[in-house]
């Protein structure tokens, strides 16, 4: 009998080259989000951050597999290389961060998501048009 190792789906997709997520520059994603009205998700990262590498290699591809990235524009900014922009967008100086901007009749709302939450919860939050009910959950903040 031949035994086949079981690997997580994200690792399998990465091996096939399917785990790559299209990360745009903030400038391009912001422009497209303003033009379309679709939400903007900003991934704040840093080269030295191992948790950021995990988000890029595992969390973002899983969110893509859940369809949570289909209806939004996704940008990546490096906290050290784009410090002023990162400070302007971020509530904290921590990385990694996921910051979501959504449009309503009252303008744009900013949502701060804690990356340590289960990916399924993050996916459901990103896909939910009625996020106000979720705003009271721990680790989700608005500004």
29-81: pLDDT as tens digits: 999 999 999 999 999 999 999 999 999 999 999 999 999 999 999 999 999 99
How would you class 57 by CB atoms within 10 Å of its CB: exposed for 0-12, middle for 13-18, buried for 19 or more?
Answer: middle
Domain ranges of the chain: 9-142
C-beta separation of 101 from 39 below 8 A: yes
Q: Which of 56, 77, 71, 58 is nearest to 127 (CA)?
A: 71
Q: Radius of gyration (Cα) for the chain, nearest Å?
A: 16
Is this structure's pTM higher than 0.75?
yes
C-beta separation of 49 from 11 below 8 A: no
CATH code linked to domain 9-142: 3.40.30.10
Q: Whole-number mean pLDDT of the chain? A: 82
């Amino acid at each position: 009998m031949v035994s086949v190792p079981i690997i997580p789906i994200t690792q399998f997709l990465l091996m096939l080259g399917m785990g790559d997520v299209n990360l745009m520059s903030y400038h391009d994603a912001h422009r497209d989000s303003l033009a379309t009205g679709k939400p903007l998700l900003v991934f704040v990262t840093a080269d030295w951050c191992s948790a950021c590498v995990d988000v890029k290699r595992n969390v973002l591809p899983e969110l893509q597999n859940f369809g949570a990235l289909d209806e939004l524009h996704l940008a990546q900014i490096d906290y050290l290389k784009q410090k002023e922009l990162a400070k302007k967008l971020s509530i904290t100086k921590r990385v990694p961060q996921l910051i979501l901007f959504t449009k309503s009749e009252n303008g744009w709302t900013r949502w701060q998501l804690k990356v340590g939450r289960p990916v399924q919860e993050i996916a459901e939050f990103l896909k939910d048009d009625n996020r106000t009910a979720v705003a009271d959950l721990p680790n989700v903040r608005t500004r």
